[in-house]
Structure 1
Amino acid sequence: MASEMSLRLYGSPLVVTDSGGKDSTVCREIVRRSGIPYEVQHNLTTADAPQTIYYVRQMFRQLELTGVTCSVNYPIYKGQRVTMWTLIPMKKFPPTRLQRYCCQICKEDSCKDRFITTGVRWAESTKRKNNRGVFENFTKDPSKRIILNNDNDEKRMLFESCTVKGKRICNPIVDWEDRDIWEFIRCERLLVNPLYDMGFRRVGCLGCPMAGKNRWTEFRLFPTYERAYIRAFGNMLEAIHASGGKTKWKTAYDVFSWWMEEDKIEGQISLFDLPEWQGENVT
């Protein structure tokens, strides 16, 4: 049904969004078996583990040999290519659980005017709150918030329409449990991201605030990414000071310590002390 609607409404095949995770693996296989025409797209966040990047490349090579069109979307902000490390200084504050501009820019701004599939599942919403969304205007009115396309909220439906971005969304495994995902992968002998064999339960941006204390493990395994965040926070402080702003953070390590939710350091700043957070639109 989604394929027929995509061809009729957009004149283009259904797009399978592939993050490199287990849910994407299942969606990719389901769509392949359906026999419909489709494309596969991956959003390069620039903060994914090397294993994820290599895995996606491997899968794309295999798909392209069968005639499937595969493409990688690069994050764009204010008309220019960015990375996680250049985006943080531009935003002048770190990404947090509630202020996830990184998700919006690095993941959500792609596939405009297309019909897509996602691996969103209700089973992953147990610890997620209903007020999660894109805080484009920082309004406190939940009715004005826009839910991110990759939020696994229990209100997500099988078919969705995102009028803001002009795209429609199909969530074909929205009612699958974790056991369903892994049973399908094992029974069909599907190749998954090697991070799962390393003990990872989720595959996403390294250092994502949504990972909580697991970030320490991620940085122990991938110390280069920790250094990249600290360097970005240092550039962020320089950008704040260059624009005439003030902050109680003294060093990049102070920002990193706060961001990692360590004990509150002396003179620690609140994000709402920043002018950028005082009711201004940050998109």
Structure 2
Amino acid sequence: MDKEQKAIERIKTASDMSLHHYKKPLVCTYSGGKDSDVMLELFKRSGIPFEVHNSHTTADAPQTVRHIREVFQRLELDDIKCEIEKPTYQGVRTSMWRLIPKKLMPPTRLVRYCCSVLKETGCANRYIATGVRWDESTQRGTRTEFEKIGHTKADKEAFTTLMLMNDNDSRRRMTELCMQKNKMVVNPIIDWTHSDIWEFINSEHIETCELYQCGYDRVGCIGCPLVSKKRYKEFADFPEYKKLYIHAFGRMLEERKRRGKESKWKDGYEVFLWWMEDDNIPGQMTIDDFLEV
């Protein structure tokens, strides 16, 4: 079985479980990136009923936001339900720039509160599909085709084993295992490589975000710490986002001072340079200084 057909079979299996357990269609999560566009095409080919969900991070590039809206407009013309969810924190609408002062620290590779608040809170008590792939990172290499959010390691192993079995009895037992209301996840393209993604996009003439034609190999939050030095190009291309981060870091320092927290920076610009891993900034705080937060 080729990877395309295998991915579609995973989608169909998850769809059956979503309709049976949640009484609602499977949700295709959509970020506007290349993996999301591949996922969306596979969903269309699967023939299942589905919905599409985007978490508006507030830090995506304008081109990404525009691509998402254009894709959603076309989907809605085909009567496919689409939702762009605006982020909230502690019951109030928020953004990356409001979140930083509240968290009293910049988002980092080790403390990714931005992801947990801006990207991962949607679709509660639903079965969702993501574009997670093993070859994206070592950490993602531990993920499985079918997952249940909020499970123990033993639950995960039992859940995965049952999902990989094909007989109807195993599906019945898996349903019983998952009767507790939780978010459940299928990763249809988990075994696809970077080359697989682009080969599929090119062969099937799938439209992607224009940033890929501008030298970008990823589409996500501008300034994400996980992309390391590539952030320099992002801030060169999108200087207004740099200003937003610096301003948010300045308000973060004000809030730390108000709460009596230590700070070794003079202003938001020094925080920004530290955040960009500039070794020339004296008196830098380390991530350990923030752990109490």
Q: Is the shorter-chain TM-score for this pair beyond 0.5, marking a shared fold?
A: yes
Paired residue for 1:188? 204
- Does residue 154 (structure 1) correspond to residue 170 (structure 2)? The answer is no
8 Å contact from structure 1 (residues 117, 172) kept in 2: yes
Provide, for residues 83-107 of structure 1, a one-character-per-residue CA deviation record: whole Å limited to 9, x for no partner. 0000000000000001000001111
AA aligned to 2:206 is L
- With structure 1 as the length reference, what TM-score do the two structures score? 0.87
Of 262, 272, 276, the match for 1:246: 262
Alignment match of 1:166 (pick from 176, 182, 185): 182
What's 2:61 paired with?
49
Structure 1 residue 264, shift from structure 2 partner: 4.3
> Which residue of 243, 248, 252 corresponds with 1:232?
248
Equivalent runs, 1:27-46 vs 2, <5 Å? 27-46=39-58
Tell whether 2:192 aligns with 1:176: yes
CA deviation map 1:48-70 (0-9, x unaligned): 00000000000000000000000
Equivalent runs, 1:7-156 vs 2, <5 Å: 7-125=19-137, 128=138, 130=139, 153-156=140-143
1:17-41 deviation per Cα after TM superposition (whole angstroms, max 9, x unaligned): 0000000001001011111000000
Number of residue pairs matched by the alignment: 252
Could you say which residue in structure 2 is the equivalent of 1:219?
235
Shift in Å at residue 16 of structure 1? 0.2
- Matched residue, 1:135: none
1:235: how far off?
0.5
Q: Distance in 1 between matches of 2:263 and 2:276?
A: 18
Residue equivalent to 2:225: 209
Matches of 1:246 and 1:205, distance apart in 2:
28
Report the aligned-residue RMSD.
1.2
Q: 1:183 is matched by which residue type in structure 2?
A: E
Q: Tell me the amino acid that sits aligned with residue 210 of structure 1.
A: L
Q: Which has the larger radius of gyration?
A: 2
Q: Partner amino acid for 2:212?
A: Y
CA distance in 1, matches of 2:103, 2:267: 17
- In the alignment, structure 2 segments of 5+ residues that lack a partner are 1-12, 152-180
> 1:272 & 1:76 partners in 2: Cα distance?
27
What's the secondary structure of 1:176's corresponding residue? coil
Aligned equivalents of 1:37 and 1:270: distance in 2? 48
CA contact (8 A) 1:43 1:72 kept: yes
> Which residues of structure 1 form unaligned runs of 5+?
131-152
| Residue 258 of structure 1: aligned partner | 274
Whether the aligned pair in 2 keeps the contact of 1:23 and 1:181 (CA below 8 Å) is yes
User: What residue number does 2:167 align with?
Assistant: none
**What is the DSSP-based 3-state SS (H/G/I as helix, E as strand, rest coil) of the residue aligned with 1:213?**
helix
Whether the 8 Å contact between 1:93 and 1:271 is mirrored in structure 2 is: no
Q: Within 1, Cα distance between the matches of 2:257 and 2:38?
A: 47
Percent identity, aligned pairs only, is: 51
Distance (Å, rounded) in 2 between the aligned partners of 1:78 and 1:4 = 34
Letter in structure 2 aligned against 1:122: W
Shift of 1:183: 0.9
Secondary structure of the residue aligned to 2:240 is helix
SS where residue 5 of structure 1 aligns?
helix
C-alpha deviations, 1:181-205, integer Å up to 9, x for none?
Answer: 1111111111001110001011100
Q: Distance in 2 between matches of 1:43 and 1:255?
A: 27
Distance (whole Å) between structure 1 residues aligned to residue 282 and residue 198 of structure 2: 46
Task: Describe the superposition over 1:210-232 as per-residue Cα deviations: whole angstroms up to 9, x where unpaired.
Answer: 11111010000000000000000
Q: Which has the higher helix share?
A: 2
